[in-house]
Structure 1
Amino acid sequence: MDSSPFLRLRGVVKSFGTFTALDRIDLDINEGEFFTIVGPSGSGKSTLIRLLVGMDDLTSGEIRLRDKRIDDTPANLRPTCMVFQSLALFPHMTVGQNIEFPLKLRKEAPDRRKARALELLDLLRLPQSYYDKRISQCSGGEKQRVALARALAFDPEILFFDEPLSALDYRLRKTLEKELKDLHARTGKTFVYITHSLEEAMVMSDRIAIMKEGRIEQISEADEIYGAPVSRFVAEFMGEVNLFGVTAGGDGTVTSDVLTVRPGATLAKAPSGARGLLMVRPEYVRFADDGAGFDFSLTGTLHGEYALGSRIQYEIETAAGMVTVEKLREDRRAVAEGEQLTVGFNAANTHFIDEAA
């Protein structure tokens, strides 16, 4: 049985003159996977997907699909399809005509084209009556579903998505995130998704790749990247975070210039003698008067309190910088700006980032 990855990139480089947009990318994507590539503007994620779909040429390296090299195959001959942010629907056509367009290019018979379009309307949970509806009469969410139906009409082996939800309002985006995840499960297709939205990636993906300056910084499942980032960049990119400089001792103990460390507190995975960052997410930081003892604590003054829907965030100004505490709204506590507070957390809720790694 062939155990090679479905889609494989090795040593992929893309340069524009003296600027290297992608620097020796190695990447394996499994068949049927929902794989998301995330990164800030300029990280190279859009350049990468343009290479994968065949819109740009490599400078060096290779791309293989089912172990067959495809980087020299024209885009229109690859078994792939792209769903763009702009959707690129034909406004003068009906919904049905848009969905049927790739089948018409293949010279499929009209009755077969219509039958397939109606199947895809069902799959995308649009009424079959939409077949004759003008694209200009469709809402943003309906247009998004039509674009997905048209992409699936190609029957591609891989669907590529270039930030397709970024122009939608928040509520519709949340709905379509769930629908995309469900569609992926129902079709069994391989989805490769580009976004700058961490939330989208966390909701939908089997695995996530974090990009920085043309390189892949980390690839893993969402929970692993959130809880055990490999670098400061990934830790900060994956949401609110508190980072403290610490040094690990040979017996797992730890010392810090900014934290008060409980005697006997240890970090199980910190390399002996390593200087690094102790990471703790805001939801694991507590106020000292909540009645718990802590492995690590520090004191500061309340800088601000912020209501974020179901959550409340508190910013505490300390010698280590601003520390963020997060609570559920139901656990909100009365505090005053400028009030002196002690906060703490336990070793089990931390992650050590080795700065020398």
Structure 2
Amino acid sequence: MTAILDIQDVRKSYGAHQALKGVSLSVSEGEFIALVGPSGCGKTTLLKQIAGFEEPDQGRIAIAGADMAGVPAAKRPTSMVFQRLALFPHMTVAENVGFPLKLRKTQPGEIRKRVGQMIELMQLKTDYLTRFPRQLSGGEQQRVALARSMVSEPKLLLLDEPLSALDVKLKKVLQAELKRLHRSVGVTFVHVTHDLEEAMMLADRICVMRDGAILQLGTPADIYYRPAGSFVAGFIGETNLMPIKVTARDKSGLVYRSADIADIDGRIASDFVADGVGQGDALLMLRPELLRVLGPEEKAEGIIGAEVTEMFGKGGTVQYRARTRGGQNLVVEIPGTSSLPMRIGDKVRLGFAKKDIYVFGPGA
């Protein structure tokens, strides 16, 4: 795939605070990439560098092969949608959407044509063209903002948490709309979000950042099931991290022991072990939905004994908290049913398959 965005060793400081610490990232044409991380990790700062609102102190940003050094935001082949949509209140929907084309001195007939195309793409009614933003719902305003950002046919669409202020139900609808829009127009999306479920739903790849650096870049499945370490594992969804002792390691995998896990053979194949794990302490990751409640005589490749300490109904699923004999707290999530399989105080056996675990070092 051709790289539409190439970022090399970008650094940015605000006084003594180093917001970006040598970030490098390549984004393919037509890709949807999400930047996630805790507040202050540098994701919005990176978006501003791409958009041209700020210049990096060091490093190179290229879009479609052209170096963006010194190129102002208005001259870059990018468009940005902000958390606060910044629609012009005194302009109609048609005027708002067509404003970027008017700035480029596009002919009025062409503006009307392209505004109409964008309104249709956003599935807005044509009579909305004469309305003002205050006459629209939050979701309709969001669609207008997206239409305005797309009407100039940017090579890169930059999204800075555009759905964060919406209620949960409307957010779900617009997440689906955003995915449909990306699929329809084929423009490259770079999306900053705090909503990890949103990143998993929408992105082709997720970039996890912390303290101005990229910790891991990969597909949603990579990030979720093969995290680079305990921070990424804990940041992207809930998980269980169980301490183990690695007693032997070779190319085929490792041998381990645990006070809480009864393993069928005490071995884990190398496919499920992160690079750099050797003898000594390590962490075994188990996602809550990959643990299952075993019957009294039922067998599994790995079994954990625990006591149920809490229960939370979530509609489609039920989440349990359980404590192992060694004092480890576990989260177990199973499909919701009308008859609950476990109650608080129950002693249970939790089973897992070897293909569903992942092991990394304690300091990762």
Say whether the fold is shared (TM-score over 0.5): yes
Contact kept in structure 1, 2:256 and 2:267, CA below 8 Å: no
Determine the C-alpha separation between the residues in 2 that align with 1:312 and 1:290. 21
- Provide the alpha-carbon RMSD of the alignment: 1.8
Determine the C-alpha separation between the residues in 1 that align with 2:308 and 2:137. 45
Equivalent position SS for 2:178: helix
Structure 1 residue runs without a partner (length 5+) = none
Determine the C-alpha separation between the residues in 1 that align with 2:139 and 2:120. 15
Determine the C-alpha separation between the residues in 2 that align with 1:267 and 1:135. 58
Segment drifting more, 300-309 vs 248-257: 248-257
Change beyond 3 A, Cα 1:165–1:88:
same
Segment drifting more, 278-287 vs 291-300: 291-300
Counting matched residue pairs gives: 355
Equivalent position of 2:340 in the other structure: 333
Equivalent position of 2:50 in the other structure: 52
1:285 corresponds to 2:291: yes
Contact kept in structure 2, 1:244 and 1:320, CA below 8 Å: no
Equivalent position of 2:26 in the other structure: 28
Determine the C-alpha separation between the residues in 1 that align with 2:356 and 2:21. 34
Identity of aligned residues (%): 38
Please state how far the C-alpha of 1:300 moved relative to its aligned partner.
2.7
1:351 corresponds to 2:346: no
What amino acid maps onto 2:328 in structure 1?
A: G
Please state how far the C-alpha of 1:197 moved relative to its aligned partner.
0.5
Contact kept in structure 1, 2:193 and 2:199, CA below 8 Å: yes
Equivalent position of 2:208 in the other structure: 210
What amino acid maps onto 1:343 in structure 2?
A: L
Equivalent position of 2:261 in the other structure: 260
Report the TM-score when normalising by structure 2: 0.93
> In the alignment, which of 298, 311, 316 is matched to residue 304 of structure 2?
298
1:322 corresponds to 2:323: no
Equivalent position SS for 2:337: helix
Equivalent position of 2:163 in the other structure: 165
Please state how far the C-alpha of 1:301 moved relative to its aligned partner.
2.0
Please state how far the C-alpha of 1:333 moved relative to its aligned partner.
2.9
Determine the C-alpha separation between the residues in 2 that align with 1:226 and 1:141. 30
Determine the C-alpha separation between the residues in 1 that align with 2:138 and 2:363. 47
Determine the C-alpha separation between the residues in 2 that align with 1:243 and 1:260. 12
Segment drifting more, 263-272 vs 197-206: 263-272
1:90 corresponds to 2:85: no
Determine the C-alpha separation between the residues in 2 that align with 1:314 and 1:356. 28
What amino acid maps onto 1:278 in structure 2?
A: L
Please state how far the C-alpha of 1:81 moved relative to its aligned partner.
0.7
Determine the C-alpha separation between the residues in 1 that align with 2:113 and 2:330. 58
Please state how far the C-alpha of 1:272 moved relative to its aligned partner.
4.9
Determine the C-alpha separation between the residues in 1 that align with 2:80 and 2:65. 21
Change beyond 3 A, Cα 1:109–1:66:
closer
Equivalent position SS for 1:250: strand
What amino acid maps onto 1:240 in structure 2?
A: E
Ranges of 4+ aligned residues in structure 1 off by more than 6 Å: none
Determine the C-alpha separation between the residues in 2 that align with 1:290 and 1:260. 16
Determine the C-alpha separation between the residues in 2 that align with 1:72 and 1:247. 53
Describe the superposition over 1:71-113 as per-residue Cα deviations: whole angstroms up to 9, x where unpaired: 3211111111100011110111111010111111112222221
Equivalent position of 2:115 in the other structure: 117
Segment drifting more, 302-311 vs 317-326: 317-326
Structure 2 residue runs without a partner (length 5+) = none
Equivalent position SS for 2:171: helix
Change beyond 3 A, Cα 1:220–1:274:
farther
